[in-house]
Amino acid sequence: MMNKTIIVTCLLYLIVSCNSEESLEKKSVDVDTQTEQTDNEPKNEVVYSIPSPNEQYDLLYFLGGEVDPTYVNDLSRVSNYTTTKQKALNFGVYMSDAAYMMKFNQGKKVFLDYVSTLDELGRSLDVSKVYGDDLLQKVEEIGADSDKLFELSSDNYLKVFDNMIENDKGKELSLMLSGAWVETMHILFKSAGGFDKDFDIQEAIIEQRYILDNLIGFVSEYEGEQEVDETLDKLYKIKKEFENLDCTQASVEVKDQGDNSFVLDGGESCLFTKESYSSLENLIKETRDSIIL
């Protein structure tokens, strides 16, 4: 497993185009050389360095994951969130859950339920018009097309976070990104089914250590705020658990697949032990439990 071609790394880093499926290929961009934007691309680099839940669940879907609605945070819990920290963290959790449910074809009603909940949380965080009448109109036009609802979910993820930056809500954004990442990790672990069950998803979990580094870098810009510092402490604990992985080094090669796609081979290759897997899984559960209450 340590010497296998690391396609997962390629997808998560968005560095090269991996020929897995068309939707993944379109999302693969080089962060350092990207110079053009379309209407659906973020104005802020943070969304590139911290892949959206939609990108993560594209990968999970590609790896053969299946939906389980019991994995997500119940929408009825929204009334439990009364502080800014709770609202912002769970905004991120619900954004991740919405992407997961839409990727696995859960339909228009589920999408609208999440839109309603997220809009409620967004307005209570003083981010006016998180969504708007134009979104509802688009949903009506799309109807029951789950693929297009997923794309719409992805587009709005980017727009929401641009909105947060433009309205000087960086602290809240850092919490939202943290909540979304923790929820994504929770769903990845649940989907993996335990140690030695699904090595592809397990490898995807291992590669999250790079995304966590980028997340910590962004959240650290707002340290000094109590809510942020508490969340940052939890992220550092998770980072420390990643340091218990069994890792080896090999020279990196970029291999041309001959069909306008490339894969990376070599570099640092890491494995879980049974103990490190269980320890990180338990810490993610503990962290998520502290968020969703």
Give the pLDDT of residue 45.
52
What is residue 243's three-state secondary structure?
Answer: coil
What is the chain's length?
293
Q: Give the domain extent around 197.
A: 7-292
Asked if residues 131 and 156 have their Cβ atoms less than 8 Å apart, the reply is yes
| Token output for 217 | 């870098």
Evaluate whether residue 194 is within a structural domain.
Answer: yes
Evaluate whether residue 53 is within a structural domain.
Answer: yes
Evaluate whether residue 226 is within a structural domain.
Answer: yes
Per residue in 90-108, pLDDT (tens digit) is 999 999 999 999 899 777 8
Give the pLDDT of residue 105.
76
Evaluate whether residue 122 is within a structural domain.
Answer: yes
Evaluate whether residue 113 is within a structural domain.
Answer: yes
Paired strand residues for 255: 263
Evaluate whether residue 179 is within a structural domain.
Answer: yes
Give the pLDDT of residue 222.
94
Give the pLDDT of residue 34.
37
Evaluate whether residue 2 is within a structural domain.
Answer: no
Query: Which long-range contacts link 217-225 to residues 24+ away (Cβ below 8 Å)?
Result: 217/49, 218/46, 218/49, 218/50, 218/174, 218/177, 219/174, 219/177, 219/178, 221/170, 221/174, 222/170, 222/171, 222/174, 225/171
Count how many domains the chain has.
Answer: 1
pLDDT, mean of each 10-residue run, the chain (293 residues) = 37 35 35 41 56 91 92 97 97 94 85 89 79 72 79 79 82 95 98 94 96 95 95 98 90 78 75 96 98 96
Per residue in 154-165, pLDDT (tens digit) is 887 777 777 788
Evaluate whether residue 1 is within a structural domain.
Answer: no
Write down the pTM of the prediction: 0.80
Asked if residues 237 and 205 have their Cβ atoms less than 8 Å apart, the reply is no
End-to-end CA, the chain = 37
Measure the CA–CA gap between 136 and 141, rounded to whole angstroms: 9
